[in-house]
Structure 1
Amino acid sequence: MSGFKMLAEPLKMGPVEIKNRFIVSAMVMNCCNEDGTATEKYIAYHEEKAKGGWGLIVTEDYAVDKNGRTYQYLPGLWCDEQIASHKELTDRVHKAGAKIYAQIFHGGRQTEEWIIGQQVWAPSPIPCPVKKALPHEMTTKEVDQMIEKFGDAALRAKKAGFDGVQIHGAHGYLVCEFASSYSNKRVDKYGGNLMNRMRFPVEIVKNIRKKCGPDFAIDYKISGEERTQGGTNIEDTKAMAVMLEEAGIDSLNVSVAVYETWYMQVPPAVMGHGWLADYAREIKSVVDIPVTTVGRINDPYVAESIIRSGKADACYMGRASLADPYLPKKALEGQCEDIITCIGCLQGCTGKIDAGFHGQCTLNPRTVMEDEISLVPAEIKKNIYVAGGGPAGAQAAIVLAQRGHQVTLFEKSDRLGGMYATAAVPPWKGEISSFIVWQRFQLEKLGVTVRYNTPLTAERVEADRPDTVVAATGSRPWVPDFPGKDREFVVSAVDLLNGKLMTEGKVAVIGGGMVGSETANYLAGHGCEVTIIEMADDIAKEEPGNMKRFLMESFREHGVGIYTDTKVMSVEADRTVIGKQNENQMVMGPFDYVVTAVGMRSVQTLRDELANTQVELVCVGDAKCAKNALEAIRDGYMTALKI
């Protein structure tokens, strides 16, 4: 089993036995109908994971009440009319070999009135510090009725074919709100001491068991700590776990945080792998039921070691399943080099969801597109040249080869990756390299000829006459035309990160976008005294919020100076930078070095040279226009499907 003897073992969770210990955690993908029914997109997305070998799939939040949704397009089990569409989901997942739980929840105060059409509900009239809506304080009768709604939703889940439910008692949603003195200030039977605060979740468990019987699994998701002032800590949670076990749950999944500490719920690359496993170990010390862990577990070796250490009985690997739905199958068959490893970038998953779209994955364009994208053999096999081995070009070459084309990739440097390899240099970004290595392995496996240190030229195209040329020539740094930009101490961030030079002392970074900010963090970590100069009103706007929080903390720790709303007018011979801020001229420095990180521009030389020839030419990635990694990889993939 390739070293994964624990992951390969079955696990009994109450009445349900899962075939292995790979579990998909609940993740909002925002792709159901607004009435809570399942779409083909939603079903195909889960079905793909089942085909990939996951033992258990836990779906995203099924609302027990339409007024408990936190997003518009969540699934629901608040009425019988929703059962049929979700029955198709469970039938297809079961046929593919996995067990499936419905995570049931109510958003409580952590939703918004425009989504649910009424005032938000909570145990007490205390706003969520993030959502900032004044809640309706639920009456005792309303609390009693909500318990019944949870039980009714669980019964509908059973009728829909789910193997069990996961009660979402974590992350600051309604069940969690009742359990915590941070959000529950009631003085009736549902407030006050721990026993009373836990009455709501305990009665929900009992109600579900009464309505669904002993052959239906009940899992409970809990925050090991809320990480807020006055919130629950691990000792509180251990006591809660004992009470929940006595109430009749079959297993516990241990997470952390509430919306106020939301950056921990979906930890970015900054945070360590399996960083919550110790919380699970603490819970395991007081209960006899299976306890599972979650939290940036993106590698089967890490998951295996957590289970072997006794910290948890199984591992939830949510975003890992987005990057590669076939991770378990590949791991257990000894094909780890074929696994696409999640890099914790948050661009496609939380980034797209927070922007109002359905979820995506930067590294896997098929994620949540399984119903639309099929990789089928090409009807006409072609001889195709790909110019450029960055993420878009390499992705295009992989898909073209998978479809049966003869592919030759030309890369002007001695390695793949392009600007994406450069992006792996700053702190917390090193895992980007794993995707470049995956692309290299796939190209070798597929028999793609890769010619390093060989740029593709128009002359070679004219001489060889390939059927198609894919221009993936990428982008290059762009520097605005200000006086002094060519001075010897003015250098580009790309050259710096690529190891072509070294800076020290006082350094100004012109440009506070993603590249500039991460370069500044890199320099500060290497002992430089750094100042960022940015024209816009804020820096790092492209960074996902979870990442930006840690980036700003690092800047404060290293004393990085930040000038926003500041345009660079010139770089002087005395090493000062002249800028204009709100019509006021200012002199900054002197600096030992000035690093430019203003932007990128497409390299379109090959495209222009081949524009008037007979060769079929397509452009992908930055060769069209400068893109982020998600857009570039997706463009390379989708373009290759059409050739």
Structure 2
Amino acid sequence: MNFKYLFTPYKIGKCEIPNRLVVTAMATNYCTNQGLATERYIRYHEERAKGGWGLIITENYAVNEHAMAFQGIGGMWNDEQVASHRQLTERIHRYNTKIFCQLYHAGRQTFSLVNGGVQPVAPSPIACPVNREMPRELTTHEIHGLVTDFGTAAERVKKAGFDGLELHAGNGYLIAGFMSSYENRRTDEYGGCFTNRMRFLREVLEEVRSRVGSVFPVSVRFAAEEHELGGRDLAEARMVAALLEEMGVDMINCSNGVYGSYNLSQISTMYMPHGWTIKNAAELKKVVNIPVLGVNRITDPLMADQFLSMGYCDFVGMARASLADPFLPQKALHGQFQSIRTCIGCLQGCVGSLITGSPCRCLVNPECGHEFEYDYSAEVTPKKVLVIGGGVAGMEAAIAAARRGHKVTLWEKSDRLGGQFISASYPPGKGEFATYIGCLNYYVKETGVCVEFNKEATEESIKAFGPDSVLLATGAVPNEPKLPGVNRANVVYAEQVLLGIKTVEGRIVIAGGGETGLETALYLAASERGDISVVTSLEKVAKELNGVKRVEALKMAATRGIEFITNTNLVEICENGVLLEKGGETRLLPCDCVVIAKGYHSNNSLKDELAFLGDRLVTIGDAVKARNALEASASGCKAGYYA
């Protein structure tokens, strides 16, 4: 398929961007706590420049030392920070990619713990529904000081060699807070009517322009819809867009949502439609002549080109798609679609890691954030490498080892590759998970890995093979609860249900309220198999899911009538139901079928047999400990690289 617009240049102000593909801002936690760019941070961005992205917009750089929502992000609040970020811009410019720096103040959407014990500040003393720490209302004098902070930070941005800057006036951060009656309840000149609510942004823009000049490109990111009662709607968003053009802004980045939006629109999960807010960008384009950047779960370059062709936007932001595959632009340009590692919307590494204060990662691209570590051009002495197990960890290990130049053989005891990730793609909303396994299959062939199916590994067969290195990726197997009646004919396991090996219907009880139990319930409810109850001894269902995904999944469960029975032990499976115990009292819950979803444990019994290998044996993925695919892909890639 031919691209009509995606690879054509377009200007932001007087700055020509070589194509329409944009890496929009994402926090990484790769910088120092002093806001300095590290080699890890620079290499992460450099990889995307190598991959052919037209414009990179950095993560949100703080304008003062108390303005951060996360630690480990960039900063432009003092002159000592300029040099490290100049190294970043110099490296990016080697590849004809442009780079803008995003400036922000987190406002109420942070914690005092992050900002040296200083209480968050906001237009009004209303706590963020997610962070919940009460902010202090800013005085007029302090507002003027923050305007200056934005200006001096912008001056440093230009000195650091950036091609432009973006003001983050969206998603509930400080400027956005002033702009929206959802957060702003002031009655002075910075609150009330539309003009007053825009005053802080106007003053910031004027100050920034006075520091960087009229030619330096300035973009503004703001939420067209905040998806909160009293928040901005599309009608007011058009007014904002027109005002921004009038104030001399060079581009509008059309974002959505705030922390805690009822539909979690700020960061889209696998449960959200592709490009579901792109029409908001199209609406803004109707009232302005400056470029508009469209975003939100755009993962396919063909889709991006179509949005451009339809006139919905002038640039397409594909932030998480760039995490999944930094070389998406080059691959798309050359028609190598099968080789693209596609974002699957899992949010395990990009959002889940940040919530815990860890560096940004990506499930489908285990090299994300490790670009500084992996160098496949470095020479190695070729080895004969044997990978045992063809799940996510085994496939990533085999691919990495083969890319390093080793002769790699993969043994898989079944007739297909993918392991448990195959069944993981069956619950509603997770069909795109299959694209990851499909892509890994492509790379296994492309890198010349020799795959032997239906091959059982034993001590004897391994000795006969004579490997220099063995990577044990035998994965995990379902836990078998020691329950009376667990071997009855009406008892099956979740994986059997998801893969269509076993069929259940009628009154169904799912034993286990973790991620597997919840998703199996959603799978059965989607096909209307019957009345479904999930029984768990925990107080909450699927506690291990990150907050965004969990809320979306529970919403689906509620609409499909799934019953959750928490703080309850399933003590016996009877002929016509299950015996439940809670608070010392027991009751019989009638059912026709029981689905066991009690988690997994490592399948590493072969490890002891292979002790003779010594340090030639490395155990990876779930064979070490049953965790998740994020950890499996990362450990597999690392083991394969260092095989």
Please tell me the TM-score bracket, short chain as reference. over 0.9
How many angstroms apart in 2 are the aligned matches of 1:623 and 1:362?
Answer: 18
- Could you say which residue in structure 2 is the equivalent of 1:330? 331
Q: Which amino acid aligns with 1:556?
A: A
- Asked whether 1:534 is paired with 2:533, we answer no
Q: Could you tell me the TM-score, scaled by structure 2's length? A: 0.97
- Could you say which residue in structure 2 is the equivalent of 1:18? 17
How many angstroms apart in 2 are the aligned matches of 1:180 and 1:295?
Answer: 21
- Could you say which residue in structure 1 is the equivalent of 2:563? 561
CA shift, 1:499, in A, is 0.9
- Could you say which residue in structure 2 is the equivalent of 1:225? 225
Determine helix, strand or coil for the equivalent of 1:580.
strand
Determine helix, strand or coil for the equivalent of 1:331.
helix
The answer (yes or no) to whether the contact 1:377–1:402 under 8 Å persists in 2 is no
Determine helix, strand or coil for the equivalent of 1:270.
coil
Q: Which amino acid aligns with 1:105?
A: Y
Q: Any idea what the Cα deviations from partners look like across 1:185-238, whole Å, max 9, x if unmatched?
A: 222221111111111112222221222112210001010111101111001010
- Could you say which residue in structure 1 is the equivalent of 2:456? 455
Map 1:583-598 onto structure 2 (within 5 A).
583-588=584-589, 590-598=590-598
- Could you say which residue in structure 1 is the equivalent of 2:40? 41
Determine helix, strand or coil for the equivalent of 1:259.
coil
CA shift, 1:610, in A, is 2.9
Determine helix, strand or coil for the equivalent of 1:345.
coil
Q: Which amino acid aligns with 2:148?
A: E
CA shift, 1:33, in A, is 1.4
Q: Any idea what the Cα deviations from partners look like across 1:148-176, whole Å, max 9, x if unmatched?
A: 22122111100111111111011011111
Map 1:387-426 onto structure 2 (within 5 A).
387-426=388-427
- Could you say which residue in structure 2 is the equivalent of 1:286? 287
- Could you say which residue in structure 2 is the equivalent of 1:63? 62
- Could you say which residue in structure 2 is the equivalent of 1:121? 121
Structure 1 pair 615–51 and aligned structure 2 pair: CA distance change class (3 A): closer
CA shift, 1:614, in A, is 8.1
CA shift, 1:378, in A, is 5.8
How many angstroms apart in 2 are the aligned matches of 1:273 and 1:452?
Answer: 36
Map 1:100-115 onto structure 2 (within 5 A).
100-115=99-114
Deviates more, 1:205-214 or 1:525-534: 205-214
The answer (yes or no) to whether the contact 1:466–1:615 under 8 Å persists in 2 is no
The answer (yes or no) to whether the contact 1:361–1:630 under 8 Å persists in 2 is yes
- Could you say which residue in structure 2 is the equivalent of 1:30? 29
- Could you say which residue in structure 2 is the equivalent of 1:240? 240
Map 1:253-264 onto structure 2 (within 5 A).
253-261=253-261, 263-264=264-265
Structure 1 pair 19–507 and aligned structure 2 pair: CA distance change class (3 A): same
The answer (yes or no) to whether the contact 1:378–1:405 under 8 Å persists in 2 is no
Q: Which amino acid aligns with 2:199?
A: R
Q: Any idea what the Cα deviations from partners look like across 1:384-437, whole Å, max 9, x if unmatched?
A: 222211101111111111111111212222221110111000011111111101
CA shift, 1:383, in A, is 2.1
How many angstroms apart in 2 are the aligned matches of 1:617 and 1:146?
Answer: 57
Q: Which amino acid aligns with 1:587?
A: L
How many angstroms apart in 2 are the aligned matches of 1:481 and 1:239?
Answer: 64
Structure 1 pair 78–607 and aligned structure 2 pair: CA distance change class (3 A): same
Q: Which amino acid aligns with 2:198?
A: M
Map 1:355-394 onto structure 2 (within 5 A).
355-376=356-377, 379-394=380-395
- Could you say which residue in structure 2 is the equivalent of 1:140? 140
- Could you say which residue in structure 1 is the equivalent of 2:8? 9
How many angstroms apart in 2 are the aligned matches of 1:499 and 1:452?
Answer: 21
- Asked whether 1:182 is paired with 2:176, we answer no
Determine helix, strand or coil for the equivalent of 1:264.
coil
CA shift, 1:325, in A, is 1.0
Determine helix, strand or coil for the equivalent of 1:570.
strand
CA shift, 1:373, in A, is 2.8
CA shift, 1:71, in A, is 1.2
How many angstroms apart in 1 are the aligned matches of 2:147 and 2:618?
Answer: 58
How many angstroms apart in 1 are the aligned matches of 2:616 and 2:465?
Answer: 13
Q: Which amino acid aligns with 2:546?
A: P
How many angstroms apart in 2 are the aligned matches of 1:605 and 1:369?
Answer: 31
CA shift, 1:615, in A, is 9.9
The answer (yes or no) to whether the contact 2:172–2:259 under 8 Å persists in 1 is yes
Aligned length: 640
- Could you say which residue in structure 2 is the equivalent of 1:305? 306
The answer (yes or no) to whether the contact 1:467–1:615 under 8 Å persists in 2 is no
- Could you say which residue in structure 2 is the equivalent of 1:606? 606
- Could you say which residue in structure 2 is the equivalent of 1:432? 433
Q: Any idea what the Cα deviations from partners look like across 1:554-573, whole Å, max 9, x if unmatched?
A: 12112211111222111012
The answer (yes or no) to whether the contact 2:226–2:261 under 8 Å persists in 1 is yes
The answer (yes or no) to whether the contact 2:388–2:394 under 8 Å persists in 1 is yes
- Could you say which residue in structure 1 is the equivalent of 2:208? 208
The answer (yes or no) to whether the contact 2:121–2:138 under 8 Å persists in 1 is yes
CA shift, 1:370, in A, is 1.7
Q: Any idea what the Cα deviations from partners look like across 1:9-63, whole Å, max 9, x if unmatched?
A: 0110102111001100100111211121212221121111111111110001111
The answer (yes or no) to whether the contact 1:507–1:595 under 8 Å persists in 2 is yes
The answer (yes or no) to whether the contact 2:89–2:160 under 8 Å persists in 1 is yes
List alignment gaps of at least 5 residues for structure 2.
Answer: none
Q: Could you tell me the TM-score, scaled by structure 1's length? A: 0.97
Determine helix, strand or coil for the equivalent of 2:570.
strand
Q: Any idea what the Cα deviations from partners look like across 1:257-303, whole Å, max 9, x if unmatched?
A: 11121821111100011111010000001000000111111111111
- Could you say which residue in structure 2 is the equivalent of 1:510? 511
- Could you say which residue in structure 2 is the equivalent of 1:640? 640
- Could you say which residue in structure 1 is the equivalent of 2:197? 197
How many angstroms apart in 1 are the aligned matches of 2:100 and 2:474?
Answer: 46
Structure 1 pair 84–563 and aligned structure 2 pair: CA distance change class (3 A): same
Map 1:84-99 onto structure 2 (within 5 A).
84-99=83-98
Q: Which amino acid aligns with 1:196?
A: N
